[in-house]
Structure formats: structure tokens, C-alpha cells
Structure 1
Amino acid sequence: MSSLTHASKRTASRRDGFRLGSSHSQMIRQFTPNWFAMTMGTGIVFLILLALPIEFPGRHQIALTLWAVDSALFCSFAVLFAARLILYPQTIRPLLDHPVQSMFLGTIPMGLIPIVNGLAIFGPGLFGPAVLNIAHVLWWVDAALAVFFACLVPYRMFTSQQHSAEQITAVWLLPLVAPEVTASSAAVLAPHLPHAAAQLMVATGYVLWAISVPLAFSVLTIVFLRLALHKLPHRDMAASSWLTLGPIGTGSLGLLLLGQATPALFAGTTLAPVAAFARDFGLFAGLLLWGVGIWWLLMAAILTMRYQRDGMTFNLGWWGFTFPIGVYAAATFALYRITMFVPFAVIGMLLALALFGFWLLVVTHTINGMLKGNLFHAPCLQQPGRA
């Protein structure tokens, strides 16, 4: 009987080892939402390429290629993450309870938005006008996901996660910023939609903005206090210094784009005066938010130099160097297009160059890490007692 028991244990062990020991199974089980930050960073690069106030040969083709690559990456990551949830459901709770990994759930809707914008920009020319219906549906799916994660992650923070003041970082912003990223996209899609659908989308965009920005600024206040009391986070969190630019840049961009789109959509209606106010308020408030971002931009640059002196090792969090500075550059170019004030164009170009440099650096390290296979690592599964 004892020999049979030992034999059955050895058989079970071999089966488990085969299931978990294969590289593909481990890749799925260890896949984290952090990867969607890669689609955010790549997506903002092609959008900034299109926003540049200068023209150069091949710009449109490069942007189109990056959009196609970004779309393929997002679809691949979505399949991997869905496979993890289906094949390893026991890993869901550790993910939701992890005080850092859970925050990256917000990168899923934020990673989808550049792809949706690309559908509106490139789709009609490639696939015909019917593709705009797909973009429209995907936007609403994204809005639902953004609000869902903006509620789910704080709920887990309040009920099951373990946090302390010295562990607070700007990563807390990730699930909260997602709705305002979706809001800024509303103005991109609205001109391509039927009038009533565009009006509803823009109105919803303002609601999404209101859900996100005040909460994000409350977290910025907490992050400032945490830095003053407990000093800098570990160097592994160096890129989180740039995440503070995310809600500021996207908040400014959202007000600017929504404000410019609103008057034409509501012309001739009882809301026409409100729409005109939204345009003027969008410029004024967008400029103020952009000004707030100057301080956080300078601090992020200074702190990064400090981290570099202390020694920084690559991790997927380095994608945090890309999207925040990208959306801040997008807001800068939006201010230039509205005001035609040349300094905005100059500052925007400098930010764009910094973005392209960061992106090239991070994508090189990421490809190298993927080839070595050492980036598929889920910290939430490394804790004692975890699945």
C-alpha cells in the first residue's frame, strides 16, 4: 500500500512538474498586467509622431507600423492574461491582494486607448468607414473597464490589501488615471461618429474626467507627503517618479480636446452656451494643469538623475518613463495648436525627443529580457502560501 502511495505521489509530481515546468505554462502563470504598460508606451509614441508640428518623410508610415505592432502586442497580452485567469484561477486573488501588482490592472484600459485612437485615424483608409463602428464599441468597452478597475482596485485596497505609509508610491495612480485617458479619447473619436453618438461620447468623457482627476490629485498630495516623510522609494521604483505626470498631462489634454470638440457638437441646441464655455474653460484649465506639470516634470528628471547615481537595474516598471511624458507632450502640442504660441511647439519637441529616447532605451531592454526569459515573473505568486 505504501509503495502504491509513493508511486501515485511520484506520478502526480511528474504531472504537476510537466504542467508547471514547461516554459509556456510558466509564461502564462507568471504573466502580469505590467506588460500592458508596454502597449501604453508604444501607443503614445505613434500618437506623438502624428502630433509633431513638423513634417518629415515616412512619418505616417512609421506611425502606422507602430500602431500595427502595438495592436498585435495588446492582443497577445490580452490572450496571455485571459489564459492565466482561465487556466490558473487560483492566481487571481493573490493578484488582487498584492499592493503593487493590482495597480497595473489600470494599464489594461489605458493600453487599449491608443489602439482605439489608431482605428479612428488609420482604420477608414485601411479597412473602410465601417471600422469606426468597431472603434466606437471598443471605446465604450474601454470606458467600462476603466471605471471597473478604478473602483475594484481601491475596494481591494480598503478591504484586503496591506499598505503602509512608507510603501506608498505614484503607482497608486494607475487604476485611477484610466478613466481620464478614456475621456481624452472621446474627442478623437467624436468627429467620426453620428451626431447623437458623438454628443453622448463627449458628455461621458467629461464624466470620466471628473471621476479620475480629483482622485488622482488627492493621491499626488499623499505621494508628496510620503516623499517628505519617508524619502525616496527603492531604486526599483525609480520610474514611478514619472507617473505623477500622467494624470496632469492627461487631465490637461482631456479638457483641451473635449473643449475644442464640444461647441460644434452642441451648436444650435440649448447647451450651445455651455459648450462655448467648455471650450474657453478647457483652454484656461488645461493651461493651468500644464503649469502644474512643470514642477512634477522637473522633479521627475532630478530624481531620475539621483536614482541613476545610486544604480538602477531594468524592470518592466521602466515603461513608466514613456506614457506620462508622452501625454504631457501631447497636451503641450494641443496647447500649441490652439494658441499658436511657438514656445509650446519648442517645449513639445524637446519632450517628444525625450519620449523617443526613453522608448528606444526601454524597448531594447525589454526585448533583451524577453529573449532571456527573465521578465515573466509575478511577484504576487512569490509570497508564502500563494498559488
Structure 2
Amino acid sequence: MGTAILATAAAVLPWRVPGLDTLALVAWLLSVVVLTVLLAGSLRRPRVALGHGGDPVLAPFYGAPPMALLTVGAATLLVGRDVLGTTAAVTVDWVLWSAGTAAGLVAAVTVPFLQFTRHTGGDGASAGWLIAVVPPMVSASGGALLVPYAPAGQVRLTLLLGCWAMFGMSLIASFVVLTLIWHRLATLRVGPVATAPVLWIGIGPFGQSITAANLLGDAGHGVLPEPYDRAFGALGVLYGVPAWGFALLWAGLAAAVTVRAVRTHLPFSLSWWSFTFPVGTMVTGTSALAAHLHATALALIAVLGYGALLTAWALVAFRTARGLRHGTLARPA
């Protein structure tokens, strides 16, 4: 999902520059390859893939595979249709969205249930907990893109209302988790240096929710009865701008903690991928607000944010490839 977000974010940027479409296409193709390899590896070792439910640290990451399916599906519809054609792209997206939504809903219920009933120990709430509850929000965004392709009438309305319900499900759960994280940080401090990148996950629910609210607002025109179509359309902006402000606050805190960690040597780990997808959701959310409000400042911020996302992705992908090549990926740098 850290690679597919490069494609989706590029597809919705308010300003187009030469080479951007090619970059989006390459990112989409690479994300398809990576997803295929990871799914094949998981299917070959299902016991390993499903054996982390009792681990309080690893269990929340069961939300990551559903988000990968959903993000690649959205990228296929937005970018891949230039290669596959609209009909094939929509079909692929329906399959990935359906599988990702089902798995994401299971993770959003199962992981908190395990936390409530089985998991013990640990240092309290972590930003990693958000990974388990964010998938329904990603489903809401992806579902909004599919609303126009659903059969007209009750099927289309049901899809739209279901996406809004998943929006609320994930948003409120994220608020609860973020409150717990803030309390932990204020009372127990930031913890080990290596965990600093995980704090960036905190902006993910906001960027994704801004994206979802605006996409769902647009999708409601002609589907919801009046005046609710206009009301939900306005909600994307009325919610999005304040949420965008808080996301900037969290990003500032995460950046400060990261700089502090770098000064004391921040070892490379797979947690560095937290620098990609959450930032990508902020780019898509900012792009949506810029498009609805015709705000030049927001458009500029979205473009600059995409530049930061691309830089972060290149760095993390390079370090990951080098770690795989030398067999040091699982060991601290």
C-alpha cells in the first residue's frame, strides 16, 4: 500500500506536471507485483501468516493486508484503466475491494476483541493499533470510486450508505485509539528510538477520512434524495478542513519526535514504511479539498506533499531492497 498510494496520489493531484502519469503507471505496476508476491508467500505459509493473533504487537498489523488490497484496487481503477480498459479495471477493483473490505472488517473487530480479552503486557497504546481500525475507512474511499459503477437504484444507494457507515466506524474508533496514544505519550514518553516512525501512522486516519468524506460527498449526487445529497456533499469540506488542521498538528509532533530520534541514531526497520502511506493519504485528502475549494494554497501543499512522499518512498524502498539483498532487514542497522 505504501507503493500503490504513489499511484493514487499522483492521479488526483490538482496540478499536472510532465512525467506524472508515467510515474503513476510505474508505481501501480510495481504495487501489483509486490502485492502478488506477498499474497503468494502468505498462501504458501498460512500458519505463519495467521499465527500472530496472540502477539499484542503484531496482531494490529492484520489490518495491513486488507489496506494493501484496497489501495491497489483503487490504483487499478484510477491508473490501471489506461492499460486494462475501464471494464477490466472496474472488475479487478470490485474483486480487490470486496476481499479487502471483508478482511478489513474482520480485522477491525477481531483485533480489538483480542486486545480486550487475550493480550497482556506491553507499554500501553501504540500508533500501530490504528492499523487494525483504519481499513474500513480505506474501504469507504475505494467504495466511493465504485458507486458510479454499481447498478442504479437500491444497490447503488446501499453501497453508498455502507461506505458512510464504514467511514463512521473507522473514524470514531480512530479517535478512541488516538486519545489513548496521546495519554500514553504524555505519561510514559515516546519510548524506544526505533518506534519513532510509527507515530506517522497517526495522520493516516485523518488524511484517509478527508479523502473518503469528499469522495463519498461527490458520489452521493443523484444517489441520495434531496437535500441530503447536498448536505453530505458539503460535509466533506466542513469536516475536512478542521481535520486537516489537526493532522498538521500531529504531523508536526511526529516530525519533531523523528528528528529527535535521528539525532540519537534512528535504525532502519520496516517501520520506516510508516513514512509513506499516511503521508500519501494527506496528499489525497489535501488534493480533494483543493479541488472542492479551488484553493491555490492547498493545491501547492498537495504538490509539495507529493514530493515529500516520493522522496520518502525512494529512501525507504532503497533501504528495504538493500536489507533484503544483504539479509539484514530483520536486524537493527
TM-score range, shorter chain: over 0.9
| 1:276 shift after superposition | 1.4
Contact 1:106 1:178 (C-alpha < 8 Å) held by counterparts: yes
Contact 2:203 2:282 (C-alpha < 8 Å) held by counterparts: yes
| Pair 1:333 & 2:287 matched | yes
Instruction: Give the counterpart of 1:147 among 94, 98, 105.
Output: 105
Q: In structure 2, what is the Cα distance between the partners aligned to 1:363 and 1:317?
A: 12
- In the superposition, relative to structure 1, how do residues 272 and 57 fare at CA in structure 2: closer, same or farther (>3 Å)? same
- Could you tell me which amino acid in structure 1 is paired with residue 146 of structure 2? L
For 2:4, the equivalent position in structure 1 comes to 43
Instruction: Give the counterpart of 2:24 among 60, 63, 73.
Output: 63
| CA offsets 1:321-368 (integer angstroms, 9 cap, x no match) | 111111011111100000011111122122212111111110010000
1:149-164 pair list within 5 angstroms: 149-164=107-122
Contact 1:242 1:324 (C-alpha < 8 Å) held by counterparts: yes
For 2:15, the equivalent position in structure 1 comes to 54
| Pair 1:101 & 2:58 matched | yes
Contact 2:193 2:266 (C-alpha < 8 Å) held by counterparts: yes
Contact 2:25 2:80 (C-alpha < 8 Å) held by counterparts: no
Contact 2:42 2:49 (C-alpha < 8 Å) held by counterparts: no
Q: In structure 2, what is the Cα distance between the partners aligned to 1:172 and 1:284?
A: 27
For 1:367, the equivalent position in structure 2 comes to 321
Q: In structure 2, what is the Cα distance between the partners aligned to 1:192 and 1:60?
A: 23
- Could you tell me which amino acid in structure 1 is paired with residue 13 of structure 2? L
Residue 56 of structure 1 aligns to a residue whose secondary structure is coil
For 2:256, the equivalent position in structure 1 comes to 302
- Could you tell me which amino acid in structure 2 is paired with residue 353 of structure 1? G
Q: In structure 1, what is the Cα distance between the partners aligned to 2:138 and 2:81?
A: 23
Q: In structure 1, what is the Cα distance between the partners aligned to 2:158 and 2:76?
A: 19
For 1:224, the equivalent position in structure 2 comes to 182
- Could you tell me which amino acid in structure 1 is paired with residue 292 of structure 2? I
- Could you tell me which amino acid in structure 2 is paired with residue 80 of structure 1? G
Superposition misfits of 4+ residues, deviation over 6 angstroms? none
| 1:230 shift after superposition | 0.5
- Could you tell me which amino acid in structure 2 is paired with residue 374 of structure 1? T
| 1:204 shift after superposition | 1.3
For 1:72, the equivalent position in structure 2 comes to 33
Q: In structure 2, what is the Cα distance between the partners aligned to 1:108 and 1:233?
A: 27
| Pair 1:243 & 2:211 matched | no
Q: In structure 2, what is the Cα distance between the partners aligned to 1:253 and 1:284?
A: 13
Q: In structure 2, what is the Cα distance between the partners aligned to 1:47 and 1:206?
A: 21
| CA offsets 1:193-246 (integer angstroms, 9 cap, x no match) | 432444332221111111111011111011111001000121121111101101
| Pair 1:187 & 2:144 matched | yes
In our comparison, the structure showing a higher alpha carbon Rg is 1
Q: In structure 1, what is the Cα distance between the partners aligned to 2:285 and 2:48?
A: 41
- Could you tell me which amino acid in structure 2 is paired with residue 58 of structure 1? G
- In the superposition, relative to structure 1, how do residues 190 and 238 fare at CA in structure 2: closer, same or farther (>3 Å)? same
Q: In structure 2, what is the Cα distance between the partners aligned to 1:90 and 1:185?
A: 29
- Could you tell me which amino acid in structure 2 is paired with residue 250 of structure 1? Q
Contact 2:5 2:75 (C-alpha < 8 Å) held by counterparts: no
Residue 226 of structure 1 aligns to a residue whose secondary structure is helix
Identity %: 29
For 1:348, the equivalent position in structure 2 comes to 302
- Could you tell me which amino acid in structure 1 is paired with residue 127 of structure 2? A
1:261-276 pair list within 5 angstroms: 261-266=219-224, 271-276=225-230
| 1:167 shift after superposition | 4.2
Instruction: Give the counterpart of 1:233 among 181, 191, 196.
Output: 191
Instruction: Return 5+ residue gaps in structure 1 as ranges.
Output: 1-39, 378-387
For 1:37, the equivalent position in structure 2 comes to none
| 1:150 shift after superposition | 0.6
For 2:247, the equivalent position in structure 1 comes to 293
Instruction: Give the counterpart of 2:237 among 265, 279, 283.
Output: 283
- In the superposition, relative to structure 1, how do residues 283 and 90 fare at CA in structure 2: closer, same or farther (>3 Å)? closer
Q: In structure 2, what is the Cα distance between the partners aligned to 1:114 and 1:257?
A: 15
- Could you tell me which amino acid in structure 1 is paired with residue 203 of structure 2? L
Instruction: Give the counterpart of 2:278 among 324, 328, 352.
Output: 324
| 1:303 shift after superposition | 1.0
Q: How many residues align?
A: 329
Contact 1:43 1:115 (C-alpha < 8 Å) held by counterparts: yes
TM score, norm. by length of structure 1:
0.81
Contact 1:259 1:283 (C-alpha < 8 Å) held by counterparts: no
Residue 374 of structure 1 aligns to a residue whose secondary structure is coil
| 1:262 shift after superposition | 0.6
